[in-house]
């Protein structure tokens, strides 16, 4: 995995000097110091020209000089952007181009020739085709966008390709990894090792990890988080590169049409649109919502002022000062803080409106009518804002945005088995935190369980399940019904909803089998279209390319089920010599020394599925064969056979501390309604004979190894 970290340095043009001083000392200087102490660290950054001017104005030249030296030393890569952090997607093209050119001009002035960006950072990651068209026109070569801008299905965007934007020749786009970025910036993980564990097997893949965050997060918004950032940089598991390096190291793949989005966009916004069969029509609602009267007035005011200034004679007195005031006045902040979803600030709304008003009032010889119009815009915006604040509308909007108004508790909104599974997910995360001695985090997840049980989650700003979803993919565990009773802790049992052990045992078989049938029909369709691994795997139900069907045993105290991604799921049996095992829905298992007999029983879930397949099969089961695969035979198949009126199989039993892994394989099922050429029977038997011999050799080797281990 190649890690490219992008930090966005930005402060509004009118930031208070004392706050700027705090940010410089708490964040900027600490990030710079961290880079100096880690000379192999690489970071791609954006610094808006408006902030560069502020640093010069208030004599923080050391920040500029240090960033320049770090860039010269090959540790920093600059990107272009808009000088005053304007919301470019909603501006006229002429203003977009002007903002970008101004940004380049001021940064070149203070950073020198080392400031020669090829990449472009759109403020708020607000992707729009209109914006990237202009960026390409100004000689930029690539852009970063939010992960949700990628139109591909989540499973297909594996971060191992660089895409080109359709209709923009050779202009590349890279996608932010939202989950990894949030894990870091929210301090959900607090050590490099925890981050590695969250990334799991992804760290071993040939892919890129692009994290994009605000620079001020480290040290200012979250004191001490800069130490964690550089702990990641010091970890050798990550290869640190610039964003531009990713383009060099990964091949540029096919073209695509990214969706308009921002880094505030949520995944459910897109799939809800997909469910409704509509296109995303308002991706920038936090800056311009069609039902927000303040937004409506703000943008009417903005466009009117822009049009007014654009027709001014450049020779009039104070023109450049007027033009500069407009450049600053169209910063994105005022619109964001008027969204009330839930972001709200009367101060920022007033400052933005006053800045636009001031542009008009600065024009020499302006008519009283135009002054009155500007004043009227300003007053109307503030009247509505104060009314919302005074009447409690903002509080209601805040509650509505976080769904704390008239919302049912989670346990009443979802099916019982899903709720109980979430309890197990929280408990698992709590146990993981305890193992890492992250006790504060463990308490957090424990309290989340208590909150769900009591129904107090309705008051959450960030719902506890959404909080957990940031930390791990849900679901991460096998389903509620795929557990054995002894796998449930007393704590979990007390927290489950509508849980009784006897009822669980009675319902488990049918619940799992219904899920198997449901997934079977889906999977059959996927198989015929040659699409794999895109749906659930109850009891490890899966197919391979040769159309072998795999299934595991229903779990119990002596036989556990471990869910993988499909084929790698397995059952694990731990049985003492001379012992027998048969629980509800299972086959009969008998161990005699180093031999394990598995007998198919009428009431077993394997037999029920076996009979089900015979009915679904075009040839009504004529060629279907049932086999068992086990690690004791190197996963070579052994076929069930009739013996003394019983349908059974014998396999070696490999004694290990954890138990022996095994699973069932069914082959010969005809998926299609047309006869296909089938291999001659003697070819199949010959192949199975040699596989069986190899499996027995593998077993003997393993047995010797275990004997040597004692």
Residues 82 and 209 in one domain: yes
SS3 at position 461:
coil
pLDDT at 672: 57
DSSP tag of 478: P
Residue 210's CATH number: 3.20.110.20
Whether residues 488 and 528 share a domain: the answer is: no
- Contact predicate 163/173, CB 8 Å: yes
Q: Is residue 690 part of a domain?
A: no
- The predicted pLDDT at position 471 comes to 80
Decide if 679 is inside a domain.
no
Do both 490 and 506 map to the same domain?
no
24 and 104 belong to one structural domain: yes
The answer to whether position 694 is within a domain reads no
DSSP string, 52-116: HHHHHHTT-HHHHHHHHHHHHTTSEEEEE--TT-B-GGGS-HHHHHHHHHHHHHHHHHHHGGG--
Identify the pLDDT of residue 709: 47
For residues 541, 544, 547, 552, the Cα torsion angle rounded to the nearest 10 degrees is -30
Total Cβ atoms within 10 A of residue 644: 5
pLDDT at 686: 52
Residues 482 and 528 in one domain: no
Closest by CA position to 79, among listed 28, 145, 167: 145
Token duo for residue 668 = 């010969």
Residues of the chain with pLDDT under 70: 153-157, 265-281, 398-407, 461, 523-535, 565-567, 671-710
Q: Are residues 137 and 11 in the same domain?
A: yes
What is the predicted pLDDT for the residue at 702? Answer: 54
Helix (H/G/I), strand (E/B), else coil: 302 = helix
Cβ atoms of residues 98 and 91 within 8 Å = no
Residue-number span of the structural domain to which 595 is assigned: 502-673
> How many domains would you assign to the chain?
4
Q: What is the pLDDT of residues 502-522, one digit of tens each?
A: 999 999 999 999 999 988 877
What is the Cα 540 distance to its own chain's centre? 24
Residue 69: inside a domain, yes or no?
Answer: yes
Same domain, 192 and 231: yes
Shared domain for 441 and 507, answered yes or no, is: no
pLDDT the model gives residue 523: 62
Q: For position 394, what pLDDT does the model report?
A: 84
Last-in-domain residue among 276, 308, 335: 276
Of 614, 597, 594, residue with least CA distance to 656: 594
CB 670 within 8 A of CB 617: yes
User: pLDDT (tens digit, 9 = 90+) per residue, 418-434?
Assistant: 999 999 999 999 999 99
Identify the helix (H) or strand (E) that includes residue 664.
Answer: strand 660-667
Point out the domain boundary residue: 457, 473, 499: 499
């Amino acid at each position: 995995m190649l890690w490219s970290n992008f930090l966005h340095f930005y402060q509004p043009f009118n930031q208070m000097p004392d706050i700027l001083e705090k940010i410089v000392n708490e964040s900027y200087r600490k990030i710079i110091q961290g880079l100096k102490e880690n000379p192999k660290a690489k970071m791609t950054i954006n610094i808006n020209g408006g902030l560069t001017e502020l640093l010069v104005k208030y004599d923080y030249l050391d920040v500029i000089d240090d960033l320049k030296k770090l860039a010269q030393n090959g540790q920093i890569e600059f990107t272009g952007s808009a000088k005053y952090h304007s919301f470019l997607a909603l501006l006229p093209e002429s203003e977009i181009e002007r903002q970008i050119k101004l940004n380049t001009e001021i940064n070149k002035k203070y950073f020198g020739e080392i400031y020669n960006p090829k990449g472009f950072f759109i403020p708020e990651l607000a992707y729009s085709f209109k914006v990237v068209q202009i960026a390409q026109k100004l000689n930029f070569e690539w852009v970063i966008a939010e992960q949700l801008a990628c139109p591909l299905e989540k499973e297909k965007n594996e971060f191992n390709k660089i895409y080109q934007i359709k209709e923009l020749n050779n202009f590349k786009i890279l996608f932010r990894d939202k989950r990894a970025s949030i894990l870091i910036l929210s301090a959900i993980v607090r050590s490099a090792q925890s981050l590695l564990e969250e990334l799991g097997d992804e760290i071993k893949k040939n892919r890129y990890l692009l994290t994009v965050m605000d620079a001020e997060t480290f040290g200012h918004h979250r004191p001490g988080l800069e130490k964690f950032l550089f702990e990641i940089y010091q970890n050798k598991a990550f290869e640190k590169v610039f964003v531009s390096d990713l383009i060099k190291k990964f091949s540029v793949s096919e073209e695509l049409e990214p969706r308009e989005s921002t880094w505030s966009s949520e995944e459910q916004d897109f799939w809800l649109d997909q469910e409704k069969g509509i296109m995303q029509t308002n991706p920038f609602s936090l800056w311009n919502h069609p039902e927000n009267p303040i937004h409506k007035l703000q943008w009417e005011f903005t466009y009117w002022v822009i049009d007014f200034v654009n027709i001014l004679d450049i020779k009039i007195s104070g023109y450049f000062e007027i033009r500069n005031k407009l450049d600053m006045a169209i910063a994105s902040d005022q619109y964001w803080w008027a969204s009330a979803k839930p972001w709200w600030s009367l101060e920022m709304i007033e400052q933005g409106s006053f800045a636009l008003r001031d542009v008009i009032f600065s024009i020499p010889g302006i008519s009283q009518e135009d002054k009155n119009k500007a004043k009227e815009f300003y007053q109307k915006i503030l009247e509505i804002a104060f009314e919302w604040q005074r009447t409690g509308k903002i509080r209601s909007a805040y509650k509505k945005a976080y769904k704390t108004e008239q919302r049912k508790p989670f346990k009443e909104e979802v099916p019982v088995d899903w709720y109980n599974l979430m309890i197990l997910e929280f408990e698992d995360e709590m146990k993981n935190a305890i193992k890492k001695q992250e006790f504060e985090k463990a308490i957090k997840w424990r309290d989340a369980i208590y909150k769900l049980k009591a129904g107090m989650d309705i008051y959450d700003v960030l719902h506890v399940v959404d909080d957990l979803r940031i930390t791990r993919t849900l679901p991460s565990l096998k389903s509620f019904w795929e557990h054995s009773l002894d796998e449930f802790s007393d704590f979990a049992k007390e927290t489950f909803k509508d849980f009784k052990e006897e009822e669980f045992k009675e319902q488990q078989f049918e619940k799992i089998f219904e899920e198997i049938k449901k997934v079977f029909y889906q999977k059959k369709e996927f198989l015929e279209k040659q699409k794999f691994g895109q749906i659930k795997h109850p009891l490890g139900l899966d197919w391979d390319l040769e159309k072998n069907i795999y299934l595991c045993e229903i779990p119990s105290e002596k036989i556990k089920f471990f869910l993988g991604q499909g084929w790698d799921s397995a059952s694990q049996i731990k049985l003492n010599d001379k012992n027998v095992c048969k629980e509800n829905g299972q086959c009969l298992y008998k161990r005699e020394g180093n031999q394990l007999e598995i007998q198919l029983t009428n009431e077993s879930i394997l037999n029920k599925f076996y009979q089900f397949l015979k009915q679904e099969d075009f040839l009504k089961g004529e060629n279907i064969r049932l086999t068992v695969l086990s690690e004791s035979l190197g996963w070579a198949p052994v076929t069930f056979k009739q013996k003394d009126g019983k349908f059974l199989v014998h396999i070696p039993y490999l004694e290990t501390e954890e138990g022996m892994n095994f699973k069932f394989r069914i082959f010969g099922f005809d998926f299609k309604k047309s006869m296909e050429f089938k291999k001659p029977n003697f070819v199949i038997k010959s192949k199975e004979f040699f596989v069986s011999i190899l499996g027995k050799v593998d077993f003997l080797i393993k047995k010797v190894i275990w004997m040597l281990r004692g």
